[in-house]
């Protein structure tokens, strides 16, 4: 992966630094491997690659839930652990059935240092997360989601407004998390949908650096054009797809919009996630594949099966 170009100055306030002293939630006996080592999250090709310093591991648990591991830091995105056949609550009495079983549950993923939550929706934070995620884990999210999490008893919730940044530090590993603009729905549904944020992750492990974009459940919209102006040289993009539709209205990027977003942001590599997971998702992965091929993007697409891990050096 390429070196990260420094972010141009912007009017945002200085980043708060949160030092992580100890990962939240010690592993349970069931979560430990037989030799007492860390949970058995299956690496790419069944190897043990990526556990050393200077490498990043991205494991797709299912839907928008991804485990990022680097330099001793463990970050989880959008924890959704409903089982196959369960129904996610989407608000307004709407529900959607899950079509795939997640490849891990909370206990399998502990300990966690931080959770990055793009928004509070039933397919991104569910009742299982409410029950099983340790109440003292650090969570970075929107103001709307923070209010719901605090009511549920979570004690370490950091709110980021658009372009705000927080730095997480664990030993010699540092992670800048910057909130990016997102738009979950056009009007009239925008007024009743939860606010959503994308995120830019600038990771430093010793002398190694990488930049990862997490789209969140955004549609293509004008403010996304600000992202490559502020953050060039994106190494990896995690792109939420699916073409979610409610009442016929598009709420997440379909294959065409996903390819358009990659053309705009021009990352070196991308991993599509958040597709074919719930019945409201109407755009299969093949739509994205066709749109990417038609645009002849330079971005290298890595298609993971649920439970697989993508490992790369930094």
Structure tokens, 291: 């749109």
| Distance of alpha carbon 308 from alpha carbon 207, whole angstroms | 27
pTM of the model: 0.85
Q: Three-state SS for 258? A: helix
Does the residue 48 lie in any domain? no
Q: Taking Cα atoms as reference points, which of 215, 206, 230, 180 lies closest to residue 5?
A: 230
Does the residue 313 lie in any domain? no
> 168-171: long-range contacts (C-beta < 8 A, 24 or more apart)?
168/17, 168/18, 168/20, 168/73, 168/113, 168/114, 168/138, 169/17, 169/18, 169/19, 169/20, 170/19, 170/20, 170/71, 170/72, 170/73, 170/113, 171/71, 171/72
Does the residue 49 lie in any domain? no
Q: What is the pLDDT of residue 247?
A: 82
Residue 1: band (very low, low, confident or very high) from pLDDT cuts 50, 70, 90 = low
Q: What confidence tens digit (pLDDT) does each residue in 104-146 have?
A: 999 999 999 999 999 998 899 999 999 999 999 999 999 999 9
Query: Domains in the chain: how many in total?
Result: 1
Does the residue 148 lie in any domain? yes
The percent of residues in the chain predicted with pLDDT above 70, rounded, is: 82
Residue 194: band (very low, low, confident or very high) from pLDDT cuts 50, 70, 90 = confident
What is the domain-level CATH number for residue 94?
A: 3.60.15.10
Q: In terms of residue numbers, what domain contains 178?
A: 16-25+54-302
Q: What confidence tens digit (pLDDT) does each residue in 241-291 have?
A: 999 998 888 999 999 999 999 999 999 999 999 999 999 999 999 999 999
Q: What confidence tens digit (pLDDT) does each residue in 51-93 have?
A: 445 899 999 999 999 999 999 999 999 999 999 999 998 876 7
| Distance of alpha carbon 150 from alpha carbon 163, whole angstroms | 23
Task: Give the mean model confidence (pLDDT) for residues 185-198.
Answer: 77
| Residue 210 to residues 52, 135, 173, Cα–Cα distance (Å) | 16, 30, 12
Q: What is the pLDDT of residue 187?
A: 65
Does the residue 40 lie in any domain? no
């Amino acid at each position: 992966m390429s070196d990260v170009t420094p972010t141009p100055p912007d009017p945002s306030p200085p980043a708060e630094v949160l030092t992580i002293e100890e990962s939240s939630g010690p592993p349970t006996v069931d979560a430990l491997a037989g030799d007492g080592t860390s949970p058995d999250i299956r690496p790419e090709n069944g190897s043990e690659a990526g556990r050393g310093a200077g490498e990043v591991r991205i494991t797709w648990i299912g839907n928008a839930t991804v485990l990022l591991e680097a330099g001793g830091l463990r970050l989880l995105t959008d924890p959704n652990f409903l089982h196959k056949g369960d129904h996610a609550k989407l608000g307004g009495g709407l529900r959607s059935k899950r079509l795939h079983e997640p490849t891990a549950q909370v206990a399998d993923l502990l300990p966690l240092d931080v959770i990055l939550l793009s928004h509070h929706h039933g397919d991104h934070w569910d009742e299982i997360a409410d029950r099983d995620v340790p109440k003292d884990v650090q969570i970075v999210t929107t103001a709307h989601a923070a209010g719901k999490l605090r009511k549920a008893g979570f004690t370490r919730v950091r709110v980021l407004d658009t372009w705000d940044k927080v730095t997480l530090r664990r030993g010699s590993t540092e992670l800048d998390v910057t909130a990016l603009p997102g738009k979950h729905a056009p009007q009239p549904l925008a007024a009743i949908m939860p606010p959503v944020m994308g995120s830019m992750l600038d990771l430093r492990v010793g002398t190694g650096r990488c930049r990862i974009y997490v789209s969140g459940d955004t549609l293509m919209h004008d403010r996304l054009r600000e992202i490559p102006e502020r953050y060039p040289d994106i190494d990896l993009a995690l792109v939420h797809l699916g073409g979610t539709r409610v009442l016929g209205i598009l709420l997440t990027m379909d294959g065409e919009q996903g390819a358009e977003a990659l053309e705009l942001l021009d990352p070196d590599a991308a991993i599509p996630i958040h597709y074919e997971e719930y019945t409201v998702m109407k755009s299969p992965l093949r739509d994205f594949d066709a749109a990417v091929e038609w645009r002849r993007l330079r971005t290298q697409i890595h298609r993971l099966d649920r439970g697989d891990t993508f490992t790369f050096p930094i």
